[in-house]
Amino acid sequence: MAEPKIKDIILDDYPEDLVMLAENIGQRLAKSDGLTTSQIRNIFGEARKIQSRWNSPASSQRVALVLLQPKLAYQAVRHRQVEYLKTCLTDAIQAVVSPIPQGYDKDDTEFKRFRRFMDFFEAILAYHKANGGRD
């Protein structure tokens, strides 16, 4: 697990925590991991495609989101600096598609959690760039 709060920000609507965690991750990816913006954008583009099709049968989009995990694993093998991003996003994807644990809002939908995932991913990308992430 990359960051213990990832599950919480996907399962609960705490935008302040989402922003704070995304800033920490984006900064780490830019400064110490040396990840390029284009490497993040390649993965982000796949997530945007899933988002644009979400109104079609939800099960197919859920499958597409789950299948993003092996793509992340492949990218992490090809480019070592993707490893931390892969770990963070895999944790977030698992929080989107897993059954809601006890103690969380039972009326929350997978789509709401997916929107928080996209907000989180977009914030990581923005903070990566803001912290001098390479192109």
pLDDT at 72: 95
Contact (CB, 8 A) for 86 and 64? no
Q: Name the region of 34 (left: φ>0; alpha: ψ -120 to 50; beta: rest).
A: left
Find out whether 100 and 8 touch, Cβ atoms under 8 Å: no
- Give the distance between the most distant pair of CA atoms in the chain: 42
Per the CB < 8 A criterion, the answer to whether 35 and 131 are in contact is no
Q: Kindly give the interhelix angle for 83-97 and 37-52, rounded to the nearest 10 degrees.
A: 20
The pLDDT value recorded for residue 58 is: 59
Per the structure, how many domains does the chain have? 1
- Tell me, yes or no, whether 89 lies in a domain: yes
Q: Please report the pLDDT score of residue 31 as a whole number.
A: 87
Domain presence at residue 29 = yes
Confidence (pTM): 0.89
Q: Give the pLDDT of residue 107.
A: 67
pLDDT attached to residue 102? 76
Tokens representing residue 79 in the block: 């480019």
Whether residue 123 contacts residue 19, with contact meaning beta carbons closer than 8 Å, is answered with: yes
- Give me the domain span that covers residue 30: 5-130
The predicted pLDDT at position 2 comes to 56
The tens digit of pLDDT for each residue in 1-25 reads: 456 689 989 988 889 999 999 999 9
Task: Name the stretches of the chain with pLDDT < 50.
Answer: 1
User: Which amino acid belongs to residue 9?
Assistant: I
**Cα(43)–Cα(37) distance, integer angstroms:** 10
Flag whether 135 is in a domain: no
Angle at 21 between CA 16 and CA 24, to 5 degrees: 130
At 120 the pLDDT is: 97
* Domain-located, residue 94: yes
